[in-house]
């Protein structure tokens, strides 16, 4: 029985043109694949083609007895430059066969081995550049990998040196090539009228092609006048086709020179860039890779013989190509165009069909790779597993006779470069919160991806260069020399003494604590250095104290501490012995099994490996709302240890402020992007607590999944700012400059409007800490009988208190980002996202973020970033798996995104896709007051997308006498047990901590009813966390 092939709705003339993003074409096709399934049809203007994304269908399409490579529209445009070169030729063009026969020996094993020394030479230039720039230099990974691979193919294949590492800008060939590839892709979606209107782009396009051909011709001219060298260019110029005995024409030589210069570096540079990204996002894999290199090669120079002994490094590269194939697809068609063909036993395609294989999706097929198909797990690519993969599951080098001829060259180049980098450097993200963004031409690469590289222990730039060039590395490194002369002291003389403060932070709280500790340290005469924990890998000092502040995220280290934790677990104790440290941790006691897990582990491992604790580990339970009080109390004891002879400063101010009435523009601190407010609606009854639904237009390069968070940077309410100005008798246009000392986030020696600082830099509503109250009491003429509320509340209550404005500023932590669960799916509209939130607003208190969000009108700009939720808090990759969702109030937000996504997939697939059952347990007060998205949910329920179970706390008679969501869950326990126990459903909980606890307790009761004992049921429920169920709670 045949199945209809789905297709997005076509518009007259242009067809599906507007379903594709002209800048991010591959990504937009990938989103369509998510929506329409393993095969769908597109029509762009007059051209029709098919997209295939499942490994099973790809395996059929790679059967060369039925299908063959076709040149798609984008490659047809590239033919303007490369004509009938190996990559862009049609199957029936004689020059392809002649060049293929002539040049294949150039990529044989011996020829590839002979290129090792030249590859090593270029890689050494990369390493030398990184070493000389130092550990804090931000490295443009994609840019440097492009330099590496371009210089390698040019030198090894054509004896031509571009010397890209000795210039700031890229070679003119690279600039011309990049622009040519991008424009080739854009030309495929441009109408004739569009081409006429883009005359400038057309002119530049052919100028870029002329530049590329000129460089190739110059290379040929130089070679003709020079002694022969056995390489690819020599074979192109002087080799003869073994079938005809004829040499290649000079035009064919130029066409293939361009092919090799383009294809020979573009894809490999992407491979190396993606690989470094995935390793840094997966510290355990990074450690295993580095450990293999240390075992096989050690500190010796990397030699050709080593490359065949690095199975894990090979698996890393394979896994990177699986997740992010730099050539993201290729096109095939039936060999016989006379009759229709049947694909997958049910899809009928015309004989002249062009079918694009979407490798970015087929390589992530959960039918092959399982539910963790989107995760980076190199073990699945070790030889014994790799050989068992089905035929269509891994095709990043193309297929059959039209597969990549340069694969052996690229593989050796990538192995060597990665081995050298990991042997000599410890890498970390320049921005630990960076999530992968893609830049597209005909290939894909990471966009805006920067790292920092610190030389590993006992290596400095001089010894590195000597080792790379074969000299014995016997000179003691400067870093090691310093380390060997260090002597620790628990209580250094504060004046000018260094203090290292390290933090691991998810939402910014621990970073704020670290910065506030640094300010206090400065006031006591220390010279503090603040860094993320990942920056301390192989760099944990022994000559001065180290303070470590961290939280735990879903039982794991935060993003900027993952590499540090992996290093700490595996490092030789001798490297830790002698470190003097203090640890403070943030946690939430509602999560008993993971409370303080990471801070506790840091302290335990440090002690076990010979480090000395300066004091007891400190901690705060954020559910108690006393983070800063707990931290102040702990840091008071820390100063007693570190500087017992230094008295407590009179106030917290560590800087001086000059006030003036001259206003200047503000400065913002976080790495965010601007989103535009499209709508902002109240979605509850006027008599109910206010909840709102905000729709945003995101930047085109901002990507998210259903279940992710939107981080927003709020502002303090203008009424709150006005209160501060009034209390300090400051005009509204007063400006300030920090002239002496420093603040954690407010720029120094830069004039800023006071109103901007108050609105956008500090948390004005934070309750006053015990230390704040002590300072205020010192400046008050009367006892503070009522010291509740914020610092401003107390100052207004006691007008006789006179404190400097600088002291007032220093009493407040920096303004932090707020995270909200996204309540939409990108399949609905990829550049839009919604958040759904409760407005916290009373006579006594306005929520900083929610009151700000409420005030935003359509057209307003909001600064945002996407924050990934835990890996488990996303829909299963297998759409047929059932899901169970439990929430109350705005905890419904992520589940609206889940259901919206499944509804879109069900409609788009036209019955070709099985969508699993979904049960939604949702609590609110009344059905007519605050039942969020009631009509939308009812519509989805009528279509079989979800089955909804309500719990109305103020109208339980309308919800089967169930008052709370946990009550309804218990009432429907038979249904829940059926799909959870018997059908492998995934469960999700979202809401307050109390809701999370209550639902967890009911889950344990359900397990107990299934014959489990209480302790065993609770243990099993905890074991399933992050695998069978996921939790997202907020307070």
Residue in 267, 356, 766, 850 annotated catalytic? 267
For residues 425 and 625, give the distance between their C-alpha atoms in angstroms, rounded to a whole number.
Answer: 41
Single out the catalytic residue among 397, 728, 805, 1034.
Answer: 397
For 13-20, the CB contacts below 8 A with 24+ separation are 13/45, 14/44, 14/45, 14/191, 15/42, 15/43, 15/44, 15/45, 16/42, 16/43, 16/44, 17/44, 17/45, 17/189, 20/44, 20/189
- Per DSSP, the residues of 360-376 read HHHTT-HHHH-TTTTS-
CA gap 33, 53 in Å, rounded: 7
Cα–Cα dist 420/424, whole Å: 6
Residue-wise burial string across 881-906, b where 16 or more C-beta atoms lie within 10 A, e elsewhere: bbbbbbbbbbbbbbbbbbbbbbbbbb
Closest by alpha carbon to 263, among 419, 75, 449?
75
Q: How many angstroms separate the Cα of 704 from the Cα of each of 436, 630, 900, 1015?
A: 10, 36, 14, 38
- What is the helix (H) or strand (E) element at residue 43, kind and residue range? strand 39-44
- Rounded Cα–Cα distance for residues 295 and 283 (Å): 18
Distance of CA 455 to the CA centre of its chain: 24
Query: Structure tokens of 241?
Result: 């086709």
List, in sequence order, the alpha helices (H) in 159-249. Answer: 172-187, 192-197, 199-224, 232-238
Report the distance separating Cα 791 and Cα 776, nearest Å: 8
Is 397 in the active site? yes
* CB count in 10 Å sphere of residue 469: 12
> How far apart are the C-alpha atoms of 60 and 353, rounded to whole Å?
15
Q: What is the largest CA-CA distance in the chain?
A: 105
Calculate the alpha carbon distances from 360 to 328, 869, 1001 in Å: 6, 22, 41
Angle between the 141-158 and 172-187 helix axes, to the nearest 10 degrees?
Answer: 110
Q: Which of 399, 325, 347 is nearest to 40 (CA)?
A: 347
Return d(Cα 283, Cα 928) in angstroms, integer.
50
Contacts of 695 (CB under 8 A, 6+ apart): 677, 678, 679, 680, 832, 833, 834
DSSP conformation letters of 482-505? HHHT----SS---TT-EEEEEEE-
Q: Answer yes or no: is 404 a known binding residue.
A: yes
Q: Is 766 helix (H, G, I), strand (E, B) or coil?
A: coil
Spatial distance between the Cα atoms of 737 and 751, rounded to a whole number of angstroms: 5
Which of 62, 404, 510, 551 is an active site residue? Answer: 404
3-state SS track over 519-540: HHHHHCCCEEEEEEHHHHCCCC
Active site residue 509: no
Alpha helix segments (H runs only) across 909-977: 934-942, 965-971, 973-977
Listed residue (324, 344, 320, 349) closest to 334, CA to CA: 349
Q: For residue 919, list its beta bridge partners.
A: 884, 947
CA gap 380, 373 in Å, rounded:
10
HSE-CB of 800 using CA atoms within 13 angstroms: 8
Residue 768 in 3-state DSSP?
Answer: coil
694 in Cβ contact with 837 (< 8 Å): yes
Is 171:150 a contact under the CB 8 Å cutoff?
Answer: yes
β-sheet with 1029-1034: strand ranges across: 947-952, 918-924, 883-888, 986-992, 1029-1034
- Classified as helix, coil or strand, 98 is helix
Residue that is written with structure tokens 């691991």 in the block: 504
- State the binding site: 404
* Positions marked active-site: 267, 397, 404
- State the binding site for heme: 404
């Amino acid at each position: 029985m045949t199945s209809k092939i789905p297709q997005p709705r076509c518009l007259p003339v242009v067809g599906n043109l507007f379903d594709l993003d002209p800048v991010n074409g591959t990504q937009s096709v990938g989103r369509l694949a998510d929506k329409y399934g393993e095969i769908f049809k597109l029509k762009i203007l007059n051209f029709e083609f098919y997209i295939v994304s499942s490994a099973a269908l790809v395996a059929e399409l790679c059967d060369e007895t039925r299908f063959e490579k076709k040149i798609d529209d984008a490659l047809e445009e590239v033919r303007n430059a490369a004509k009938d070169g190996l990559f862009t030729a049609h199957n029936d063009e004689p020059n392809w066969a002649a060049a293929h026969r002539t040049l294949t020996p150039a990529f044989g094993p011996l020829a590839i081995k002979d290129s090792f020394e030249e590859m090593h030479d270029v890689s050494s230039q990369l390493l030398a550049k990184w070493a000389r720039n130092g550990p804090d230099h931000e490295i443009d990974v994609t840019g440097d990998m492009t330099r590496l691979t371009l210089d390698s193919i040019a030198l090894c294949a054509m004896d031509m040196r571009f010397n890209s590492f000795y210039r700031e800008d890229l070679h003119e060939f690279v600039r011309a090539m990049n622009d040519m590839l991008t424009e080739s892709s854009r030309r495929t979606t441009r109408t004739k009228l569009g081409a006429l209107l883009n005359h400038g782009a057309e002119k530049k396009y052919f100028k870029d092609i002329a530049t590329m051909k000129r460089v190739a011709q110059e290379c040929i001219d130089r070679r003709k006048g020079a002694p022969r060298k056995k390489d690819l260019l020599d074979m192109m110029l002087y080799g003869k086709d073994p079938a005809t005995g004829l040499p290649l024409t000079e035009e064919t030589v130029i066409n293939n020179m361009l092919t090799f210069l383009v294809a020979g570096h573009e894809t490999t540079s992407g491979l190396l860039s993606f690989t470094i990204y995935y390793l840094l996002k997966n510290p355990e894999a990074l450690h295993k890779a580095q450990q293999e290199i240390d075992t096989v090669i050690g500190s010796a120079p990397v030699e050709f013989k080593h490359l065949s002994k690095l199975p894990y490094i090979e698996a890393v590269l394979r896994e990177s190509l699986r997740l992010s194939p730099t050539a993201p697809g290729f096109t095939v068609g039936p060999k016989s165009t006379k009759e229709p063909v049947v694909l997958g036993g049910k899809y009928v395609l015309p004989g002249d069909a062009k079918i694009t294989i979407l490798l970015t999706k087929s390589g992530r097929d959960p039918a092959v790779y399982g539910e963790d198909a989107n995760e980076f797990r190199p073990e699945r690519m070790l030889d014994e597993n790799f050989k068992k993969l089905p035929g269509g599951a891994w095709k990043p080098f193309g297929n059959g006779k039209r597969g990549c001829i340069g694969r052996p060259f690229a593989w050796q180049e990538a192995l060597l470069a990665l081995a050298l980098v990991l042997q000599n450097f410890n890498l970390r993200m320049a921005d630990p919160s960076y999530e992968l963004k893609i830049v597209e031409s005909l290939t894909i690469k990471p966009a805006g991806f920067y790292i920092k590289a610190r030389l590993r222990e006992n290596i400095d730039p001089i010894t590195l260069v000597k080792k790379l060039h074969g000299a014995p590395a016997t000179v003691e490194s400067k870093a090691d020399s310093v380390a060997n002369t260090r002597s620790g002291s628990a209580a250094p003389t504060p004046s000018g003494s260094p203090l290292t403060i390290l933090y691991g932070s998810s939402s910014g709280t621990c970073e704020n604590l670290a910065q506030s500790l640094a300010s206090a340290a400065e006031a006591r005469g220390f010279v503090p250095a603040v860094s993320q924990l990942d920056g301390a890998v192989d760099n944990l000092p022994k000559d001065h104290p180290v303070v470590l502040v961290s939280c735990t995220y879903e039982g794991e280290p935060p993003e900027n501490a993952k590499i540090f934790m992996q290093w700490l677990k595996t490092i030789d104790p001798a490297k830790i012995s002698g470190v003097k440290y203090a640890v403070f941790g943030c946690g939430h006691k509602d999560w008993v099994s993971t409370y303080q897990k990471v801070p506790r582990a840091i302290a335990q491992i440090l002690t076990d490996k010979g480090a000395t604790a300066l004091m007891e580990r400190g901690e705060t339970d954020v559910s108690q709302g006393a983070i800063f009080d707990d931290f102040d109390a702990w840091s008071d004891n820390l100063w007693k240890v570190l500087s017992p002879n230094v008295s407590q400063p009179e106030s917290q101010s560590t800087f001086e402020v000059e006030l003036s009435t001259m206003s200047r523009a503000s400065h913002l601190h976080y790495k965010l992007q601007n989103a535009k407010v499209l709508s902002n609606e109240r979605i509850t009854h006027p008599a109910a607590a206010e909840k709102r639904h905000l729709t945003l237009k995101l930047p085109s390069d901002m990507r998210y999944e259903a279940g992710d968070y939107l981080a927003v940077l709020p502002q303090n309410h203008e009424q709150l700012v006005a209160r501060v100005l009034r209390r300090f008798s400051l005009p509204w246009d007063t400006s300030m400059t920090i002239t002496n000392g420093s603040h954690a986030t407010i720029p120094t020696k830069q004039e800023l409007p006071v109103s901007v600082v108050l609105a956008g830099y500090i948390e004005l509503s934070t309750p006053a800490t015990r230390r704040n109250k002590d300072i205020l009491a010192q400046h008050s003429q009367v006892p503070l009988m009522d010291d509740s509320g914020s610092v401003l509340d107390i100052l207004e209550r006691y007008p006789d208190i006179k404190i400097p404005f600088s002291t007032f500023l220093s009493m407040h932590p920096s303004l932090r980002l707020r995270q909200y669960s996204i309540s939409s799916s990108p399949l609905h509209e990829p550049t839009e996202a919604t958040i759904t939130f409760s407005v916290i607003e009373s006579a006594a208190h306005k929520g900083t973020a929610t009151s700000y969000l409420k005030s935003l009108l359509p057209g307003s700009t909001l600064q945002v970033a996407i924050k990934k939720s835990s890996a488990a808090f996303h829909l299963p990759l297998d759409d047929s798996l059932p899901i169970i969702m439990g929430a109350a109030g705005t905890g419904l937000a992520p589940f609206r995104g889940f259901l919206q996504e499944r509804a879109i997939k069900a409609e788009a697939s036209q019955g070709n896709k099985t969508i699993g059952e979904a049960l939604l347990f949702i609590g609110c007060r009344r059905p007519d007051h605050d039942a969020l998205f009631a009509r939308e949910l009812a519509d989805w329920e009528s279509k079989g997308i979800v089955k909804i179970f309500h719990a109305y706390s103020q109208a339980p008679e309308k919800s089967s006498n169930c008052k709370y969501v946990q009550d309804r869950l218990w009432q429907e326990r038979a249904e829940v047990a059926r799909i959870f126990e018997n059908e492998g459903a995934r469960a999700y909980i979202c809401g307050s901590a109390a809701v999370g606890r209550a639902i967890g307790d009911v889950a344990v009761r359900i397990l107990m009813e299934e014959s489990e004992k209480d302790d065993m049921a609770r243990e099993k429920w905890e074991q399933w966390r992050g695998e069978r169920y996921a939790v997202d709670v907020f307070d």
